[in-house]
């Protein structure tokens, strides 16, 4: 783990240790509506092998599990994963693992890859690498779903820029994104 990755893990571990729901995933109207829109973007499809990058406390994970036979949920924070595991009701289909994208990209092929509000925590170079790895591991008929906050942030990359950078870093076929007041959802295919 390099210095930036160690710092990122420490930052998120401290964040979740201090507050087990720092973004109010459980009760925020914004989070509830965005989760519903994310699940609607799946268009009632069923996925055999799904991957979620940046699962945090597993609130979206629980909804994704209802559409997946197997779901690998990754996060950089062991604190967040402990919370996710404690609240998971689908342990038979969901595997939670501590991993840092893009360095710890999992082996295998996935017919669903979800990156919800995670890309702008990466550098532009990391976003490009994640895009290429997602493209390489997405099944031929698979779906890659990006969800990005588009409001202001104090990070190096904003949500709009992250989505555009991701979609341009590999030969994705993009559908028209769903644009809401404070987030966007992009559906990408190989």
pLDDT of residue 1: 39
Half-sphere exposure of 68 (CA within 13 A, CB side): 29
CATH 3.40.50.150 fits 3-189, yes or no: yes
Radius of gyration of the chain (CA): 15
pLDDT of residue 35: 93
The tokens describing 142, both together, are 């698979």
Token pair 């401290």 is at which residue? 14
pTM of the model: 0.90
Taking only the tens place, the pLDDT of each residue in 121-161 is 899 999 999 999 999 999 999 999 999 999 999 888 999 99
pLDDT of residue 129: 98
94 neighbors 35 (Cβ within 8 angstroms): no
Question: Distance (Å, rounded) from C-alpha 149 to C-alpha 163?
Answer: 10
pLDDT of residue 70: 97
Of 63-67, 76-80, 93-97, 99-103, the one with minimum mean pLDDT is 76-80
Q: What is the DSSP string of 90-152?
A: -TTTEEEEE--TTTTPPSS-EEEEEEES-GGGS-HHHHHHHHHHHHHHEEEEEEEEEEEE-S-
b/e string for 68-97 if b means 16 or more Cβ within 10 A? bebbbbbbbbebbbbbbeeebeeeeebebe
Band the pLDDT of 56: cuts 50, 70, 90.
Answer: confident
Helix (H, G, I), strand (E, B) or coil at 163: helix
Averaged over 9-33, what is the pLDDT? 73
The tokens describing 48, both together, are 């055999």
Who wins on pLDDT, 98 or 18? 98
- Rounded to whole angstroms, what are the CA distances from 180 to 37, 53, 56, 161, 186? 10, 22, 22, 16, 11
């Amino acid at each position: 783990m390099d210095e930036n990755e160690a710092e990122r893990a420490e930052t998120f571990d401290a964040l979740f240790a201090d507050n087990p729901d720092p973004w109010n995933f459980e009760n925020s109207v914004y989070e509830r509506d965005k989760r519903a829109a994310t699940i609607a973007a799946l268009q009632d499809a069923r996925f055999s092998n799904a991957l979620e990058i940046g699962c945090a406390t597993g609130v979206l994970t629980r909804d994704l599990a209802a559409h997946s036979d197997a779901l690998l949920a990754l996060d950089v924070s062991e604190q967040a994963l402990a919370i996710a595991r404690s609240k998971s009701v689908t342990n038979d289909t969901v595997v939670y693992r501590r991993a840092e994208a893009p360095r710890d990209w999992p082996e295998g092929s996935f017919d669903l890859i979800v990156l919800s509000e995670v890309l702008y925590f990466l550098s532009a170079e990391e976003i490009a690498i994640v895009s290429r790895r997602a493209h390489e591991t997405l099944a031929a008929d698979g779906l890659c779903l990006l969800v990005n906050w588009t409001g202001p942030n104090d990070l190096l990359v904003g949500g709009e820029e992250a989505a555009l950078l991701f979609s341009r870093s590999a030969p994705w076929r993009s559908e028209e994104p769903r644009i809401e007041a404070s987030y966007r959802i992009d559906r990408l295919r190989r």
